[in-house]
Amino acid sequence: MKLLPIIDTLNNSSFHSSDSRHNYIRNFKKYGNKWQWAGRIVRYTTNSDGYRCPEWEQCMWDASVLIFGCSHTFGIGVDDSQTIARQLEPLINKPVINLGAGGTNVMFQWVNTTILRKHNITPKAVIYMWPDPARCLEFVNSSGFDTHLWGPWSDSGFGLSWVTHPAHGVVYKNYVMDCCDVMWPCPVFHYELTSTEYFNDTTTRTVKLFQSDHARDMSHPGPASIRSWAVRMAEDLQTILHR
Amino acid sequence: MLIKGDISKGSYNYLLMDTKSTPFFKQWKGPDISYNINGQGYRCNEWEAINWNESIIVFGASNVFGVGVSECQTLSSAITSLTNTPAVNLGQPATSPAFQWVNSMLLLNKNIKPKGVVYVWPNEFRHIEFTDHTGTHLKNIGNWSKTNYIKQWISHPYQAEMSARHYIDAIKLSWNCPSAHFRLPQSDPNSPLLEIDQSRDRQHPGPKSYQLWAECAVKELLLQGF
């Protein structure tokens, strides 16, 4: 099985994307020794495809809960033990497979969903932590696996008209959510982080989650934010997992 | 219930490429053609008059709608004759793979469980653009469109094809009934959907072609336990 690849992967590193050594040094100089992340080691343990979970053949798919999403789910800037997957596991007593991939979009999650369903993966439940619908996925060759991401940071090219459209991305996301609901034969839950919304999305049926602290990169959500999300998700999952 | 089509009731004279101004119109040797269109612009009964769970649903663009052929000559009619099961014609001219995907989601959300589904997937270089937040207002876009997005889409060597494949994969996984999926020969050189005759506008397949397509669709549905 092959899922869409994670871009800029540094397997089993101490730094990752915006949580770079350069940014760490800059933040340390800015905040000093009292900074909560000063001297703290952040471990990124990833599988061969760059996902922060076991190798695919070692995953206990049918006994697990899957969680899809972007960098917030992957856990950029937080330690392996502080990711949403690791914090949720003890709350629900089930393995949680972290399928978060930094810098990805709605379609990325949808494509990975179809790949898993084609392999007849049937987990206990599925969680989507939906990325910003203003992001757009471009397929850069005929493999179907190599992609480029456009987002609100794009000022030209393929993704610009998607990014600047007031409705298309939001409505598209809602239909992708519908599609994910019908593709899985198990309960599906939808969440998103409020601060990631580029569009004013009033139509979505996702549960909104909030950021209350910062990861080591001082941009992504920190361990306390992620903990509150895990508690909320565990509450939502409780009824179906204990049937 | 579904995305409203561009064709409104009674406006059949303006059907794409089948107008009386078309030179071929007067040369048509077949029966007179009437387009009986429901309130949403589809060539089928009103939604509430359809027994969805006892039907086969047929999705596609103008060649499923049947531009240039009479109602009894459409793909859906041929499928109905071969299966003795009513086939609902959800073909809409100028639509895209994404349009079929959206209509499928709207039906699946209504918990409709048909006997089977047939998709004649339109040209991948067409797409949709949602025009507001309702989710049911959209523009069909293609090589006739002028927007920046579709220009990028059409000129992109991989985006349209890869996206179409993902729509098809997702739909295959979404219905819990026999499903037959076909792409047109211009998208899939191995497609069995050959054009062996022409419709009145000479730009779409004719009755014999649709009979052949129906036989392919029914064969596939039967293989899947229909």
Q: Which has more pLDDT, B152 or B59?
A: B59
% pLDDT > 70, chain B: 89
Name which of A118, A141, A165 is nearest B169 (Cβ-Cβ). A118
What strands lie across the sheet with B116-121, from one edge to the other?
B87-91, B56-60, B116-121, B179-183
* Number of A–B residue contacts, CB under 8 Å: 73
Residue A209's Cβ-count burial label (10 Å; 0-12, 13-18, 19+) is: buried
pLDDT of the residue at A148? 84
Alpha-carbon gap, residue B119 to B171, rounded angstroms: 10
Per-residue pLDDT of chain A (243 residues; tens, 9 = 90+): 889 988 665 666 889 889 999 999 999 999 999 999 999 999 999 998 899 999 999 999 999 999 999 999 999 999 999 999 999 999 999 999 999 999 899 999 999 999 999 999 999 999 999 998 888 888 888 888 888 888 877 776 677 777 777 788 889 999 999 999 999 999 999 999 986 556 666 666 899 999 999 999 999 999 999 999 999 999 999 988 876
Residue A84 identity (one-letter amino acid): I
Interface mutation target, options B3, B109, B169, chain A, most CBs of A under 10 Å: B169
Give me the pLDDT at residue B13, please. 46
Say yes or no for a CB contact (<8 Å) between B101 and A144: no
Chain A contact for B103 (CB, 8 A cutoff): no
Q: Is B155 on the interface with A (CB under 8 A)?
A: no
Q: Is the pTM of this model over 0.95?
A: no
Q: pLDDT value at position B147?
A: 72
Pick from B109, B130, B147: which is nearest to A171 by CB?
Answer: B130
Overall average pLDDT of the B141-160 stretch: 77
Contact call for residues A102 and B153 (beta carbons, < 8 A): no
> Residue B189: which residues within 8 A CB-CB, separation 6 or more?
none
Q: Looking at CA atoms only, how far is residue B154 from chain A in angstroms?
A: 11
Three-class DSSP category at B56: strand
Token representation of residue B32: 């007179």
- State the burial class of residue A33 (Cβ atoms within 10 Å of its Cβ: 0-12, 13-18, 19+): exposed
- Distance (Å, rounded) from C-alpha B163 to C-alpha B160? 5
Distance in angstroms (rounded) separating the CA atoms of residues A78 and A60? 24
Residue B12 pLDDT more than 80? no
Nearest-angstrom CA–CA distance, A91 and A89: 5
Coil/strand/helix, residue B90: strand
Residue A138 CB contacts under 8 Å (≥ 6 apart), including other chains? A147, A148, A149, A150, A158, A159, B156, B159
Helix pair B75-83, B207-223: axis angle to 10 deg: 50
- Which chain A positions have a beta carbon within 8 Å of B173's beta carbon? 114, 117-118, 183
Interface probe with A: pick from B105, B131, B133, B176, most Cβ of A within 10 Å: B133
Q: Give residue-wise pLDDT tens across range B14-49.
A: 455 566 666 666 667 777 788 888 999 899 999 999
Given a contact cutoff of 8 angstroms between Cβ atoms, the answer to whether B167 and B173 are in contact is: no
Q: State the pLDDT at residue B9.
A: 45
Predicted local distance difference test score (pLDDT) of residue B44: 96
Q: Are strands A136-139 and B179-183 parallel, antiparallel or unpaired?
A: unpaired
User: Are residues B88 and B119 in contact, defined by beta-carbon separation less than 8 angstroms?
Assistant: no
B158 touches A: beta carbon within 8 Å = yes
Tens digits of residue pLDDT in B56-67: 999 999 999 999
> What local confidence, expressed as pLDDT, does residue A197 receive?
57
**DSSP letters for chain A:** --PPPPTT--TT-S-BTTB-HHHHHHHHHHH-TTSTTTT--------TTS-SSS-GGG--GGGSEEEEESHHHHTTTS-GGGSHHHHHHHHHTS-EEEEE-TT--HHHHHHHHHHHHHTT---SEEEEEEPPTT-EEEE-STTSS-EEEE-TT--SSTTHHHHT-SSHHHHHHHHHHHHHHHH-SS-EEEEEEGGG-SS---S--PEEE---SB-TTSSSB-HHHHHHHHHHHHHHHHHHHT-
Which of A47, A46, A56, A36 shows the shortest CA–CA distance to A14? A46
Instruction: Report the run of H or E that residue B128 belongs to, with start and end.
Output: strand B127-130
At B180-192, the pLDDT tens digits run 999 999 999 999 9
Tell me if A178 and B101 make a contact (CB, 8 A cut-off): no
Q: What local confidence, expressed as pLDDT, does residue B137 receive?
A: 87
Q: Which residue has the higher pLDDT, B96 or B1?
A: B96
Can you tell me the mean pLDDT for B62-77? Answer: 94
Q: Please give the share of chain B, as a percent, with pLDDT higher than 90.
A: 62
pLDDT at B71: 93
CA distance A114 to A65: 16
